[in-house]
Amino acid sequence: MKYLIANWKMNLNREQSLDLAKEYKKKVKGGKEYQIIIAPIALALPEIKKELGRSSIKLSAQNVAAEAVGSFTGEISAAMFKEAGAEYSLVGHSERRHFINETSEMIAKKITRCYEAGLTPILCIGETADEKENNQTEAALVRQLQSALFKVENLVDKELFIAYEPVWAIGTGACLVPAEMAPIYRVVKRTISSMVSDKYYGEKVKLLYGGSVTGERAASFWGLAYLDGLLVGGQSLSVEKVKAILM
Ligand code: PGA
């Protein structure tokens, strides 16, 4: 099973989100080969959940609060997203790390909140252009993985999605060459295996790539046996483009 996660970000209002979800339901085939997971704006989740009915498409939050409940004006908790129909949540997307100054402490708390609420976290990690230039990619990924996961209790029992999204590739048109994915996979696998076990990595962890994925580029990523899926931003706003990615 391969995964396609459609991150709609803050691009569509409620009505537009619902319309696009209807189109996905009609035209994008998931089924046995592909699991489609849509991450719409929070406000659209309940309606989209209702619309999807028995469709195999699943829903993700784009973010959850670092705290479980209480006086946190403007926040929405993981449990509230679960109630609204989400089964997953993105955590630590680079747009949140960089534009909203989300810290590694907050990201670690959000991972825990997801598990408490029964959401599977999709932890986003990735190096900046500077880190890549200075050969700091591996160090950045190890740091981000360890700081996000070290406090999780009984991680060994928990499903975990890791989305490798190099910051320089998100929404820029610059994309990783698929051959560059192998060393990334080895770092992620080694780091998580050393925190839990090889067996855990093999059974519970899914690795995704994200960053300027297009129809033309997707095929070579789908061909990587160790890669479980793609996290798609811009192109996921068009059903035709999603279909091209899934071909
Ligand atoms: P992009 O975004 O596909 O538009 O580069 C990916 C993401 O931010 O998840």
Output the CA 173–ligand 1 centroid distance in Å: 9
Q: What secondary structure does DSSP assign to the chain, as a single string? A: -EEEEEE-TT-S-HHHHHHHHHHHHHH---TTTEEEEEE--GGGHHHHHHHHTT-S-EEEES---SSSSSS-TT---HHHHHHTT-SEEEES-HHHHHHS---HHHHHHHHHHHHHHTPEEEEEE---HHHHHTT-HHHHHHHHHHHHHTT-TTGGG--EEEEE--GGGTTTS----GGGHHHHHHHHHHHHHHHS-HHHHHHHEEEEEESS--HHHHHHHHT-TT--EEEESGGGG-HHHHHHHH-
Question: Which residue's CA lies nearest to atom 6 of ligand 1?
Answer: 233
Q: What is the pTM of this model?
A: 0.97
Ligand 1 contact via 170 beta carbon (within 6 Å): yes
Per residue in 220-244, pLDDT tens? Answer: 999 999 999 999 999 999 999 999 9
Q: Report the atom number in ligand 1 closest to the C-alpha of 212.
A: 5
Per-residue model confidence (pLDDT) at position 116? 98
Distance between Cα 8 and ligand 1 center (Å): 9
- Give pLDDT tens digits for 158-187: 999 999 999 999 999 999 999 899 999 999
Distance 89 CA to ligand 1 centre (A): 15
